[in-house]
Amino acid sequence: MASVSAGASAARTPSAASQGASHPSAPVPDVLREAVAEASRQGDAGPGTALRLLRGSARAAVAVGRRTVAVAALAALWEVLPRLEAVDPTFLPPLSEVVVAWWDLLLSGQLLDHTQASLVRSLAGFALAIVVAIPLGLLIGWYKPLADLLNPLLELFRNTAALALLPVFVLILGLGETSKISIILYACAWPILLNTIAGVKGVDPLLIKSARSMGLRPLRLFQKVILPAAVPTVFTGVRLAGAYSILVLVAAEMVGAKAGLGYLINYAQFNFRVPDMYAGIITISVLGLAFNQLLVRLERRFSTWRTS
Amino acid sequence: MKIRFQGVGKEFRVRGAERPFTALHDVDLDVRAGEFLTLVGPSGCGKSTLLDLLAGLAAPTTGRILLDGVPVEGPGLDRGIVFQQYALFPWRTALSNVEFGLEAKAVPRKERAERARSYLDLVGLSGFEDRYPHELSGGMRQRVAIARSLAFDPDVLLMDEPFAALDAQTRESLQEELLRIWQKTGKTVLFITHGIDEAVYLGQRVAVMTSRPGRIKRILDVEFDSREGDLRADPRFGEYRHEVWTLLRDEVAAARAEEAVSVG
Ligand SMILES: Nc1ncnc2c1ncn2[C@@H]1O[C@H](COP(=O)(O)OP(=O)(O)OP(=O)(O)O)[C@@H](O)[C@H]1O
Ligand SMILES: [Mg+2]
C-alpha cells in the first residue's frame, strides 16, 4: 500500500511543476542572457566592463539562487531528518543514500533500460493522442451538429478518471504493451480533445466576421482564422497531456510490467529496496519536469502573439 | 460605385419572444459614387445592422441593396469594412494583417508584401511592419485596420465607428488622414459615427436615422466654401452641427422612452 501512495505523490509532481512553470517569470537562461546583455551594453571595453560583467553575473546568480532555495531546503531536510531519526530511516533513508542507489542503478544500466521502456510508452501514447485528438477536436468544434450529438458523451467521459478504466483496458487488451500505451493514449487524448474543441469554439466572432467580409469561404476561413486562433488553446491541452502521460504511466507500469520506472518503483518497494524505490521516484519526477519544460518552451514559441 | 438601399428592412428572431424584433424598417438611401456619406443615429437604431447588410454578412428581410445596380448577394472584396474594435488577427504582424485581404484576392506573394508595405506607409506606419497588434497602440491598430481595408482596393469603404475608442488628438489626425486618402483614391465611403462633429467634419452629406426601428430621417448637405484651415471654426460648421444635433435630440429622446417602456 505504501508504494502506491508514494508513487502517486511522485507522479503528481509534474502537474504541480506545470503550474509553477507556466508562471510568466523568465526561466534561468533569460536571466543569464540579461546579465550578459547588461554587461555588453557598454559596447567598447571600457574600464567599467569587467565590473559590469561581475555585477551582472552576480545578479544572475542571485536569481538562480532564489529559484533553487526551496528545492535545496527540501534536500537538506531529507538528508537531516532521517539522520536525526526524526523520521524512520528504514522508510525514508537520507537523500545521500538515495543518490548513491541512483548512481548504482545508473552504472548497472538498469536505470537507463527502465527509463527507456517508460519513455517509449509515454511518448507513443502521447503522440498517438495528438494524432487522434487534434483532428477529432477540430471536427467536433467546427461542426456544430456533431458537437451537440457528442457533448453528453464527452461530459460523461471527461468526468471519469482515466485510471478507473485501467482494469478495463487490461481486461480487454491484456497485460502487454498495447494496454499500457492505450491507457496513456486515452488519458492524454482528453485534455487535447477538450482544449481543441474549446479553442475552435472560442474564436472571436468578430475575427470570423472580418474574414468573412473579405470573402473567405468556410474552408479557407477554417485554415486562415479558426486554426491559428485555436493554436494556443490546443497547446495548453498538449501540455496538460504531457503531464498526464507521465502520471498515468507509473500506474500502468505497476500492473503486470517487466520494465519501466513504475515497475522499478513497485518492485523495489516489494523487495524492500527502499533507496532504489526513491531513486525511481526521483527519476520520474525529473522526467516529468523536463518534459513539461520542453512543452512550455514549445508553447511559448507557438503563441508569441499572445498578450498574456 | 454607387449604393442604393431600396425599402430595406431587417427583423431578428429573438429567443423566447413571440414577434420578431424589427431593427430596420423601410430604409431608402442613395449614396453617390465617390461620395463620403456619414450616418448618425441614436444607439441601437440599426446602423451596424445596415452596414452588415451592405457588407453581405446578413440578408435583409425586406427590400434590396444595389451596388451599381447589382443586388448584393454576399460578402465581396469590392467592399472593405473597418470595424469599431479593429478586428485585427492577433497572430499576424501588422504587415501580414494588411496582406490578409490580398491573400484572399490571390495576389502573388511578392506583390502582396510590396502593396501591404505601401499601404502601411500611407497610414503612417512604416517601421511597424513586424509588430503584432498587441504591440501597437489603439490608434495604430485602427490604422492597420484601415490599411488592410484599403490594400485590396475596394470601391466602397464601410466604416463602423472606427474612431470611437480613440482619444481626441488621435481621432482628429486619423480623420484628416482619412479625408486625404479618400480624396486621393476617390472611393465611396459610408461612415457610421456617434459624433456629430465627426459626422459634419467628414461627410459631404450627413444621414440622420430615427430611433428603432431605424429609418432615414433626413439627409443634410454639408457644404463649405473652402475646406482649408480650421473647418471647425467656420460659423457654418456650428450651424450644421446644431441642425444635426436638433434632429438627433428628438430621436434620442424617443429611443430613451422606448427603452424605459421595454425595461419597465
Ligand atoms: N443578431 C441579432 N439578433 C437580435 N437582435 C439584434 C441582432 N443584431 C442587432 N440586434 C438588435 O438590432 C438593433 C440594432 O442594432 P445595431 O447594432 O445595428 O445598432 P447600432 O445603431 O449600431 O447601435 P450602436 O450605435 O449602439 O452601435 C438593436 O436593438 C439590437 O439589439
Ligand atoms: Mg453599432
For the segment A66-87, the average pLDDT, to the nearest whole number, is 90
Of A209, A231, A306, the CB nearest to B57: A209
Q: Which of A3-7, A67-71, B33-37 has the highest mean pLDDT?
A: B33-37
- B45 CA closest ligand 1 atom index: 21
Together in a domain, B169 and B242: yes
Residue A89 near residue A101, CB atoms below 8 Å: no
Residue of B nearest to A213 (CA): B75
Q: Please list every protein residue whose CB sits less than 6 Å from any atom of ligand 1.
A: B 12, 14, 21, 23, 41, 43-49, 212
Count structural domains, chain B: 2
CA distance B239 to B10: 34
Which of helix, strand or coil describes residue B201? helix
Task: Tell me how far CA of residue B243 lies from CA of A118, B92, B150, B217, B248, in angstroms.
Answer: 79, 44, 32, 13, 9
- Beta carbons within 8 Å of B79's beta carbon, 6+ residues apart: A213, B54, B55, B56, B67, B154, B155, B156, B157, B158
B44 Cα: distance to centroid of ligand 2 (angstroms): 7
Q: Is the peptide bond before A145 cis (omega within 30 degrees of 0)?
A: no
| Model confidence pLDDT, tens digit, residues A140-189 | 998 889 988 998 988 888 888 888 888 898 899 888 889 999 999 999 99
Containing structural domain, residue B111: 85-153
Report the 3 state secondary structure along A127-176.
Answer: HHHHHHHHHHHHHHHHCHHHHHHHHHHHHHHHCCCHHHHHHHHHHHHCCC
Together in a domain, B107 and B200: no
Together in a domain, B127 and B159: no
Considering chain A, what is the average pLDDT of its residues? 83
- Beta carbons within 8 Å of A104's beta carbon, 6+ residues apart: none
Convert A195-205 to b/e letters by CB count within 10 Å (16 or more is b). Answer: bbbbbbeebee
pLDDT at A20 over 60: no
Together in a domain, B65 and B161: yes
What is the reported pLDDT for B262?
66
Closest CA to A10 of A130, A98, A108, A123: A98
Residue the block writes with cell 452588415 = B52
| Model confidence pLDDT, tens digit, residues B222-257 | 887 777 777 788 888 889 999 999 998 888 887 777
Together in a domain, B162 and B144: no
What is the reported pLDDT for A254?
87
Domain of B248, CATH number, reads: 3.40.50.300
Convert A120-130 to b/e letters by CB count within 10 Å (16 or more is b). Answer: ebbebbbebbb
| HSE-up of residue B229 (Cα within 13 Å, Cβ side) | 7
Phi-psi region of B26 (alpha: psi -120 to 50; beta: other; left: phi over 0): left
Rg (C-alpha) for chain B, rounded Å, is 19
| Model confidence pLDDT, tens digit, residues A260-294 | 999 999 999 999 999 999 999 999 999 999 999 99
CA distance B65 to B215: 15
pLDDT class of A47 with cuts at 50, 70, 90: low
For the segment B41-62, the average pLDDT, to the nearest whole number, is 92
| Model confidence pLDDT, tens digit, residues A99-129 | 999 999 999 999 999 999 999 999 999 999 9
Considering chain B, what is the average pLDDT of its residues? 90
pLDDT at A36 over 60: no
**Which residues of chain A from 182 to 221 reach within 8 Å of chain B, CB to CB?**
206-207, 209-216, 220
B125 Cα: distance to centroid of ligand 2 (angstroms): 27
**Could you tell me how far CA B137 lies from the centroid of its own chain?**
21
pLDDT at A42 over 60: no
Q: Which of B105, B131, B153 is the last residue of a domain?
A: B153
Q: Which of B24, B39, B45, B251 to mutate to test the pocket of ligand 1 (most atoms within 8 A of CB)?
A: B45
What is the reported pLDDT for A81?
92
pLDDT class of B213 with cuts at 50, 70, 90: confident
| Model confidence pLDDT, tens digit, residues B159-195 | 999 998 888 888 888 899 899 989 988 999 999 998 9
CA distance A262 to A245: 13
- Beta carbons within 8 Å of A69's beta carbon, 6+ residues apart: none
Task: Tell me how far CA of residue A302 lies from CA of A231, A234, B87, B221, in angstroms.
Answer: 7, 11, 21, 52
Residue B218 near residue B247, CB atoms below 8 Å: yes
Together in a domain, B185 and B208: yes
Task: Tell me how far CA of residue B140 lies from CA of A118, B131, B194, in angstroms.
Answer: 52, 10, 21
Together in a domain, B145 and B230: no
Convert A280-295 to b/e letters by CB count within 10 Å (16 or more is b). Answer: bbbbbbebbbebbeeb
Contact B152 A214 (CB under 8 A): yes
Together in a domain, B233 and B220: yes
Beta strands at B70-71 and B21-31: parallel, antiparallel or unpaired: unpaired
Contact A212 B75 (CB under 8 A): yes
Rg (C-alpha) for chain A, rounded Å, is 24
Q: Which of B132, B153, B174 is the last residue of a domain?
A: B153
pTM: 0.78
Residue of A nearest to B94 (CA): A305
Residue B36 near residue B88, CB atoms below 8 Å: no
For the segment B116-125, the average pLDDT, to the nearest whole number, is 91
Burial class (CB in 10 A: 0-12, 13-18, 19+), B19: exposed
Together in a domain, B132 and B113: yes
What is the reported pLDDT for B205?
94
Lowest mean pLDDT segment, chosen from B65-79, B128-142, B164-178: B164-178
Together in a domain, B49 and B179: yes
Q: Which of B126, B153, B180 is the last residue of a domain?
A: B153
pLDDT at A8 over 60: no
Residue the block writes with cell 466576421 = A209
Together in a domain, B204 and B250: yes
Q: ipTM value of the model? A: 0.88
Contact B104 A214 (CB under 8 A): yes
Together in a domain, B244 and B230: yes
